[in-house]
Structure 1
Amino acid sequence: MENERLIIEEYEINSSTAIVMPMEYGTKIFSRVYELEEETISPFKPFDLVKESCYGFGSNYEGRKAATKKLIGATHKVPIAISPLIYLFPTASPENPQCAWVAHDHVLDYKKGKINGTTIVKFQNNRYILLHISTRSFENQLIRTMMLKSKLSKNDDELIPRAVYANKLRKQRAAAEDSEQYSW
């Protein structure tokens, strides 16, 4: 009964989303979404929420996956930039029904779980969640996500000086044209 109060029909991954985990709900796989301040359940699989959230930010999952592969050379379990501020990585193959999606920015700490092949993750809100992923794989996923974020933010940083420089050139040309127009 309590789960029914938490179920929401629509959910878009946002900057407060910490992790999207699969959960069995009867015979179906739903998503348990942990945000920094609350927890909800979506009737969609985690991978479906990730794909739909990409659309919400003007792209699609396949395009973001292809860009990630090209930028960091990853071939499987690639992290995804849902938006310029939201980066998630999968704990398994995205098609695997047990795959969770972790928001790298909200991971505060992690350590090896007592059960082999598990990792305990501490999030910014001091919530601890046990994930079925080895600590080494978890670290690799964190590193890949940081690499992606670094590559994309580097591209953003390079665009700013170009835009400033182009704007400066336009102003100089306009000033030169004005001076030519009145110098008869």
Structure 2
Amino acid sequence: MKKDSFIEEYEVTPYTLLIKPVQYGKKTYSQIFEWEGEYICPHKPMDIIKRSCEYYGSSYEGRKEGTRHLTGITHKSPIAVDPVCSILFFPTTSPVRSECMWVAYDHIMSRTKNHYGDTDVVFRNGWKTSLPLSSSSLDNQLYRTALLKNRYVQRIAETERKFLYVNRSIPKTKEHEKPFV
């Protein structure tokens, strides 16, 4: 990873791997790890997740409610920041806790329990870090996020099937009979 750069504002992207809280005096900032770089932002990780949800067209509460509706998950909910681009994050603890990190689901390549009781994670770009949660907790969060992603994929496929069915049942018109749009 490259050296940290300071940025004032940040929204997650398909290249975001991890958002981690860091203390600067009495204030909590975020250390953001991307595919090819690291950044420090003067906002809490939760604020970045909320702002990112808004950037992609919904509120955090709306995304959280969507997760509950699709999966039944109500605590430590994974969040589809942008379901269209498959940008899904999960929290390492309760999101209201100051030490909560947010991890990008699709970037995790492997994980192993370490001798401290934490879990070492390798991301798809080869970067390795330790997350302060047990391997069973991480596996649970991965499972819950996979469930959410699968439900989105199912809904998209169902919508496409319905569209194809409706589109096939509409009688074809001659070119000169098509309505003006």
Q: Which residue of 2 aligns with 1:113?
A: 114
How far apart in 1 are the matches of 2:160 and 2:35?
Answer: 32
Structure 1 alignment gaps of length 5 or more: 179-184
> 1:99, 1:77 → 2: CA distance?
10
Describe the SS at the equivalent of 2:115: coil
Secondary structure of 1:129 counterpart: strand
What residue is the counterpart of 1:126 in the other structure? 126
Secondary structure class of the residue paired with 2:162: helix
Aligned to 2:104: 103
- What residue is the counterpart of 1:167 in the other structure? 167
Cα distance in 1 between the residues matched to 2:169 and 2:54 = 36
CA shift digits 1:19-41 (9 cap, x unpaired): 10111112111111101111111
Where does structure 2 lack aligned partners over 5 or more consecutive residues?
none
Give the TM-score normalised by structure 2: 0.90
Aligned counterpart, 1:9: 8
Q: In the alignment, residue 157 of structure 1 is paired with which amino acid?
A: A
Once the two structures are superposed, the pairs formed by residues 1-184 of structure 1 within 5 Å of their partners are 6-84=5-83, 85-116=86-117, 118-170=118-170, 172=171, 174=173
Q: CA deviation at 1:12?
A: 0.6
Deviation (angstroms), 1:18: 0.6
Find runs of 4+ consecutive structure 1 residues off by over 4 angstroms.
none
* More off after superposition, 14-23 vs 107-116: 107-116
Three-state SS of the structure 2 residue aligned to 1:58 is: coil
Higher Cα radius of gyration: 1
Identity fraction in percent: 40
Q: Residues of 1 paired with 2:35 and 2:27: CA distance?
A: 26
**Aligned partner of 1:93: which letter?**
S
Structure whose residues are more often helix by fraction: 1
AA at the equivalent of 2:45: P
Of residues 142-151 and 61-70 in structure 1, the stretch that sits farther from structure 2 once superposed is 61-70
Moved more, 103-112 or 156-165: 156-165
Aligned positions, number: 171
Amino acid at match of 1:88: F
**Local SS of the residue matching 2:7:** coil
Q: Aligned Cα RMSD in Å?
A: 1.4
